[in-house]
């Protein structure tokens, strides 16, 4: 573990809690040069998410300029774990949050589905998380920002001690309507914060 990179990772703003955990896991595994090579499975187990989720957040870290990835292959041609190089020691990267962007449907691992995915309780928790995540991105990609979809997934996949996720405890579930409501609530909260800032201005303090 590199203490230097752990501290830098803690101070780096990545715009998403799961992405932050992925970055911290890389820092935990890295040497003093910021280099490590954990497998997707190792990262997923530490962060408690699916491997596709790990891959997506790794790609987002690369896009934001916090990470570089070198793919490796064995002598027989099969792929082995990637080599990761942390780039968070660059000062200008640590001060800025990655730009908010709309999810690109072309980057989805699966084709969009006509109906919301029904999650089977027979699947393991990571498999159910992955199915739910794919459903959310299939429905919301191209409409909402990646940051909003990530926050939505993080909230609804919180699980109890026996592995039941929050969205699974709902009596009814329709991803499209839930996303629309989530987006509306975010807009209303942002608008309320603007109103509160306006009311706290100097013109209101001198009544």
How confident is the model over 121-157, as pLDDT tens digits? 567 887 888 788 888 888 888 788 877 888 888 888 8
Q: Which one, of 29, 85, 94, 89, lies nearest residue 58 by Cα?
A: 85
What would be the CATH architecture of the domain defined by 3-94? Orthogonal Bundle (1.10)
Residues with Cβ within 8 Å of residue 59, at least 6 apart in sequence: none
How confident is the model over 53-91, as pLDDT tens digits? 888 899 889 998 999 999 887 777 777 788 999 998 754
Domain segments of the chain: what residues?
Answer: 3-94, 105-199
Q: How confident is the model at residue 92 (pLDDT cuts 50, 70, 90)?
A: very low
- Residue percentage of the chain with pLDDT more than 90: 25
Residues with Cβ within 8 Å of residue 39, at least 6 apart in sequence: 81
- HEC letters along 69-116: EEEEECCCCCEEEEEEEECCCCHHHHCCCCCCCECCHHHCCCCCCCCC
pLDDT of residue 133: 84
Q: Average of pLDDT values for 93-122? A: 48
């Amino acid at each position: 573990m590199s203490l230097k990179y752990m501290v830098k990772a803690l101070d780096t703003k990545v715009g998403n809690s799961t992405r932050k955990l992925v970055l911290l896991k890389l820092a935990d595994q890295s040497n003093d040069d910021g280099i490590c090579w954990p497998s997707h499975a190792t990262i997923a187990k530490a962060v408690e998410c699916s491997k596709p989720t790990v891959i997506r957040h790794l790609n987002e870290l690369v896009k934001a300029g916090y990470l570089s990835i070198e793919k490796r292959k064995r002598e027989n041609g099969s792929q082995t774990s990637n080599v990761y190089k942390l780039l968070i020691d660059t000062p200008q990267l640590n001060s800025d949050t990655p730009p908010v962007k709309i999810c690109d449907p072309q980057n989805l691992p699966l084709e969009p589905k006509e109906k919301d995915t029904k999650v089977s309780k027979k699947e393991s928790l990571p498999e159910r998380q992955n199915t739910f995540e794919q459903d959310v991105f299939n429905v919301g990609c191209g409409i909402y920002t990646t940051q909003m979809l990530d926050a939505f997934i993080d909230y609804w996949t919180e699980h109890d001690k026996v592995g039941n996720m929050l969205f699974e405890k709902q009596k009814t579930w329709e991803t499209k309507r839930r996303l629309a409501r989530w987006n509306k609530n975010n807009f209303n909260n942002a608008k309320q914060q603007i109103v509160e800032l306006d009311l706290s201005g100097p013109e209101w303090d001198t009544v």
